Structure 1
Amino acid sequence: MIDHAHDLESVREATERLLTAVAELEAASVTQSSRLPGWSRGHVLAHLARNADALANVLQGRPMYVDATVRDADIERDAPRPLAVQLADLRDSAARFQEAGAAPADWSRTVELRNGVTDAAARVPFRRRAEVELHHVDLGIGYELEDLPEEFAVREIDFLAERFAGHPDVPPTRIEDGTRVWHSGREAEGPEVTVEGSRADLLGWLAGRRDGAALTVHGGPLPALPPL
């Protein structure tokens, strides 16, 4: 069962880690490249702030974004801002998300995200946590996939394996980290491709942050995953 209150607290903790790390950066570093192609660290920080507001919109019954064009334009507009402005916006938008999450609500209701995707309201805090944790890694400032809390890493692999389950372009896939097993891809039409590796490497591959070179694959090539 999803515990949205626990996840909201976990979002707060992850955000504090991020804010502390960003506050220690040199001012000029905000213009330097992140690990995401075509995005500076300023783009990542701007996206995180706008995503907090977008998910607050979802919790409050409004559209997540007016449209994709506005979303992208807002990120481009906000990316060049000075580090101090980025930091203040990230802190303030995070507070607005927490305020939206603290309001009395029916957490079993279905909400609409981007591109017609729907989910239970109770899963929105975990979606926000994934944004904060993974984009903290994307900044390239010393926080790595290996540093992610174990509980988060396991749940994010759960989430991503489920996301690709039944996808026609992903072969039946068994995923193992030495202690846990996940199944993803199309329903088994024969032997599954088995992908083994560390939790960090598996998560990096599933989330599009690593190429899977460190993984061990049996029964076929490493499945090519569609973009998130």
Structure 2
Amino acid sequence: MIDHELDLAHVREATERLLTAAASLDNAGAAEPSRLPGWTRGHVLAHVARNADALVNVLQGLPMYPDAATRDADIERDSGRPLDVHLADLRATADRFQAVGAEPADWSRTVELRNGVTDSASRIPFRRWVEVDLHHVDLGIGYELEDLPEEFVSREIDFLADRFTGLESVPATTLRADGGQAWKTGGTTGGVAVTGGAVEILGWLAGRRDGSALRTEGGPLPRLPAL
């Protein structure tokens, strides 16, 4: 069962980790390339801040973003700011998200995200945790997939395996972690088994690793659509 209050606490912890790490940069470091193609670290920091605003909108029953072009333009606009402005924005938007999360609400209600995607309001704090912790990794400043909490790794694999389930462009795939956990994903044809460390499975599903450390049976490593 999803515990939105516990996930809000996870978000606070992840945000503090991100803020502490980002504060070690300087303006030049913030302008350097991140691990995401075409984005500087400033783009990543701007996106994390704007995502907090967007998820506040979701929880308040508003459109997540006015449109895709506005979302992209806002990130581009904010990407080149001085580091101290990034940090203040990250703190302020994180506080707003926590404040809205603390308001009395029906957490079982269905909310709408981008592109018509819907979800339970109770899962929005976990979605925010994913944004904060995965993009912390994307900064390339010492926080790696191996540093992610074990609970995060397991739950994000659950989430991504479910996301790709039913996609006939992805063969039916069984994911097996070396620790014993297993997941099903993909369509209804084929039959590939992918085995390896849970962190490597997560990295592949999330587009952060190429999957070369994984072992396959029944076919090559499936090609996944972009997130």
Q: CA deviation at 1:25?
A: 1.4
Q: State yes or no: 1:122 paired with 2:122.
A: yes
2:187 maps to what in 1? 186
Could you list the runs of 5+ residues in structure 2 that have no partner in the other structure? none
1:214 maps to what in 2? 213
2:9 maps to what in 1? 9
Q: CA deviation at 1:24?
A: 1.3
1:149 maps to what in 2? 149
SS of corresponding position for 2:25: coil
Matches within 5 A, 1:1-228: 1-178=1-178, 179-187=180-188, 189=189, 192-228=191-227
d(CA) in 2 for partners of 1:61, 1:110: 10
d(CA) in 2 for partners of 1:176, 1:146: 18
SS of corresponding position for 2:207: coil
Identity of matched residues, %: 69
Q: CA deviation at 1:168?
A: 1.2
d(CA) in 2 for partners of 1:217, 1:96: 44
Q: Please identify runs of 4+ aligned residues in structure 1 that moved more than 3 A.
A: none
Q: CA deviation at 1:27?
A: 2.6
Number of equivalenced pairs: 226
Q: CA deviation at 1:28?
A: 1.2
TM-score normalised to structure 1 length = 0.98
Q: CA deviation at 1:95?
A: 0.4
d(CA) in 1 for partners of 2:44, 2:25: 14
Q: CA deviation at 1:197?
A: 1.0
Could you list the runs of 5+ residues in structure 1 that have no partner in the other structure? none
| 1:180-227 residue CA offsets vs partner (Å, 9 max, x unmatched) | 00000013x46x201111111111100001111111111100000001
d(CA) in 1 for partners of 2:40, 2:48: 13
TM-score normalised to structure 2 length = 0.98
